[in-house]
Amino acid sequence: MFLNILFGVVLPIIVLIVAGSVLERIFRLDLYTLSKINFYCITPATVFMSMYHSNMNPELLGNVILFYALYVLLLYIAGSITSRIMGYRNGKKAAFNNSIMLDNSGNYGLPVNQLVFNGEPLAASMQALIMSLQSLLTFTYGVISIQGSRLQGNYRSVIVGFLKMPVPYALVLGLLLHVMAVPLPAMLSQPLTYAQQSMVAIALITLGAQIVKYPLRLYRKDIYLSMALRLFGGPLIGLLLIYVLGLSGIPAQALLIASAMPTGVNTSILAEEYRNEPDFAAQTVLLSTMVNVFTITIVITLSHYVA
């Protein structure tokens, strides 16, 4: 099973990431445009279609939200304790916590989910919900933690940033149309389906182009601490919560796999935007993505026994 997952799920993902890295090296891709296509077109279409075809009941929806809230809370506690032990100052503590709490549930998590579950609507809708919650966390806690005292009570930038995100609107709209059983005309459903089907290739090529920008440094202890909490602590916390909440089947599998994602690119983007430990953030993204090739294979294998 391990080898089947490695060659059937993980290596195809790595091939596309490597392709993106090679294309970036050769052609210097316009990452700004690629990111905008992903953020404002491909990802919202995927989230909308996943929620529209979802078969999550209200109880499962509540369990996923509860799982995620407890998950990030426990990661925050683990990161804060580690930061205190290591004597990190406030800026470094914020960057460290972001590196373990803000994972790549979008342009890495969604493709992994689609390949593992072959586009199964329940699993896809759960990952789309996790990604939406992750976006909310990024533009609330992620921003506030970095800005810290510089925010001085002015939350306008946080609110505006969140309102500009298309994913939450796609999530809510998809759920509403699903609940009300509103049929989609072909002129809408077909292009949305095309966009959804392009998600895996475009997202992973973009990710490969993004991470190749960062020079690799292997001598920093803080990066390894972050990677250990993100790639090993995350799945352990996820597994604990699955048993506590009594989840099983596809929901348990999907949530365990979702808890094993590498550090998200948004971690580096926020660090660069607010000039708070940008090198540390970039390194955590690069190294955790590289090591995740092995850890995600193990977690996917174990998820079959959890179910």
Residue at 104: amino acid letter: N
Task: Identify the top-confidence range among 22-36, 64-78, 94-108.
Answer: 64-78
Neighbours of 16 (CB within 10 A): 20
Neighbours of 1 (CB within 10 A): 10
Cβ atoms of 59 and 237 within 8 Å: the answer is no
Residue 42 has pLDDT above 80, yes or no: yes
Secondary structure letter of residue 234 according to DSSP = H
* pLDDT at position 157: 64
- Return the minimum-mean-pLDDT range out of 66-75, 188-197, 200-209: 200-209
Cβ atoms of 109 and 261 within 8 Å: the answer is yes
Residue 149 has pLDDT above 50, yes or no: no
Backbone torsion region of residue 238, taken as left when φ is above 0, otherwise alpha when ψ lies between -120 and 50, otherwise beta: alpha
Gap between the Cα atoms of 106 and 111, Å rounded = 8
- CA angle, corner 239, sides to 168 and 280, nearest 5? 65
Burial code (b: 16+ CB inside 10 Å, e: under 16) for 270-289 equals: bbeebebbbbbbbbbbbbbb
Record the pTM. 0.83
Average pLDDT along the chain: 87
Cβ atoms of 53 and 122 within 8 Å: the answer is no
Secondary structure letter of residue 184 according to DSSP = P
82-108 pLDDT tens trace: 999 999 988 899 999 999 999 988 878
The residues near 98 (Cβ < 8 Å, ≥ 6 apart) are 142, 145, 146, 267, 270, 271, 281
278-296 pLDDT tens trace: 888 888 988 898 899 899 9
Cβ atoms of 3 and 298 within 8 Å: the answer is no
Cβ atoms of 103 and 262 within 8 Å: the answer is yes
* pLDDT at position 62: 92
SS3 68: helix
Task: Identify the top-confidence range among 74-78, 126-130, 139-143.
Answer: 74-78
The mean per-residue pLDDT over the stretch 136-163 comes to 67
Helix or strand (DSSP H, E) at 58: helix 58-86
Cβ atoms of 31 and 206 within 8 Å: the answer is yes
- Return the minimum-mean-pLDDT range out of 63-67, 167-171, 176-180: 167-171
Helix axes 58-86, 121-137, angle to 10 degrees: 40
Residue at 289: amino acid letter: T
